[in-house]
Every structure is written in C-alpha cells, then in structure tokens.
Amino acid sequence: MKNRIHVLRAEHRWTQAELAERLNVSRQTINAIETEKYDPSLPLAFSIAKLFGKPIEEIFVFDVADPVSTSTSGEPS
C-alpha cells in the first residue's frame, strides 16, 4: 500500500519523532510506514487521516489489483 505521509509530514514541518509522538507510536513505526515496509492498522490509519485532516483515501492508496473490484466488475456474458 502506498501512502503520502512523508509529503504531508513535510508540509507540516514535523519530524518523524514529532509525528510519532502525536500518534503515540514509535518513530520506527512512522519510518516503516513511510518507507512502505509496514501497513498500519485501520485504527492507526484513521488516526493519521484525522491528524492531517484528510480523508483516508487521500493518504493511503491500495496499489495492488483489488480482488473485490475485479471479481465484481465483470458482467455475466
């Protein structure tokens, strides 16, 4: 899953440690999310979205082929 946390954090001029403190997580967690080595839980993703004042889909982008949409998009022939 891709995300824009690095960009949003830069806009707010926060360090990883400052963002981590606001979310009550470790700096390593912020770094792992920014470098896309770790996908946050849904509650943490919502907290991030709330902190930046943006809808969750503007921050996180699901970049893998979505099995739900592909399975329901095909019309019966």
Partner 1 sequence: MNSKNPLTPTQLCRRHQIETVIGGVSYVVVLLGSIKLIKLGISGPARMLLALSPMLPAAFMIWSVFRYVTQMDELQRRIETEAFAIAAAGTAFLGLTYTFLEGDTGFPAIGSWWAWVSVAMIYAVARLLLRRRYR
Q: Closer to partner 1 at the Cβ: 24 or 70?
A: 24
CB of 53 to partner 1, least distance (A): 18
Binding site for partner 1 (CB under 8 A): 20-21, 23-26, 28-29, 31-32, 37-38, 40-41, 43-44, 47
Return the number of the residue (15 or 26) whose C-beta is nearest partner 1.
26
Residue 41 CA, chain-centre distance (Å), reads 9
Backbone angles phi, psi at 2, to 5 degrees: -90, 155
Residue 20, C-beta contacts closer than 8 angstroms, at least 6 positions apart: 26, 27, 29, 30
